[in-house]
């Protein structure tokens, strides 16, 4: 998508701190961290959110999460982590390209929202 900031980051047209990349996804540092470690998992394919996806996109996302599970220690998440994916206005979704927030690197708040 031409006007999508995450598509531009994936293409390299906008700079980011890229910690991991493969054919399915990139993992970057969030520019405005809300935890000691705050990363974004971005599937390379553009689609809007966590619930509007095809079977193939769901399979790709499952593969991404499986790969994430193998690298959490390396990402500084050995104590645990929280995955968040905002959908829509009430959840304050600001970028309409599916992204999974990965939060950790220290004790997180026990309440969400």
d(CA 12, CA 75) in angstroms, rounded, equals 21
Query: Which of Zn ion, ligand AMP, none interacts with 92 (beta carbon under 5 to 8 A by kind)?
Result: ligand AMP
Taking alpha carbons only, the member of 36, 16, 14 closest to residue 26 is 16
Q: Which is nearer to ligand AMP, 32 or 69 (CB)?
A: 32
Cβ of residue 82: shortest distance to ligand AMP, in angstroms? 13
The 3-state DSSP class for residue 91 equals: coil
Cβ 39 vs Cβ 74: under 8 Å: no
Q: Pick the closer one to ligand AMP by CB: 13 or 55.
A: 13
Nearest approach in angstroms of CB 20 to ligand AMP is 14
Q: Which residues are catalytic?
A: 99
């Amino acid at each position: 998508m031409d006007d999508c900031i995450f598509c531009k980051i994936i293409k390299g047209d906008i700079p980011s701190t890229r910690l991991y990349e493969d054919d399915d996804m990139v993992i970057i540092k969030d520019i405005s961290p809300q935890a000691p470690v705050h990363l974004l998992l971005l599937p390379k394919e553009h689609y809007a959110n966590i619930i509007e996806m095809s079977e193939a996109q769901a399979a790709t996302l499952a593969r991404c999460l499986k790969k994430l599970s193998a690298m959490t220690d390396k990402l500084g998440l050995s104590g645990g982590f929280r995955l968040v994916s905002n959908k829509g206005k009430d959840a304050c979704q600001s970028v309409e390209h599916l992204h999974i927030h990965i939060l950790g690197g220290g004790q997180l708040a026990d309440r969400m929202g």
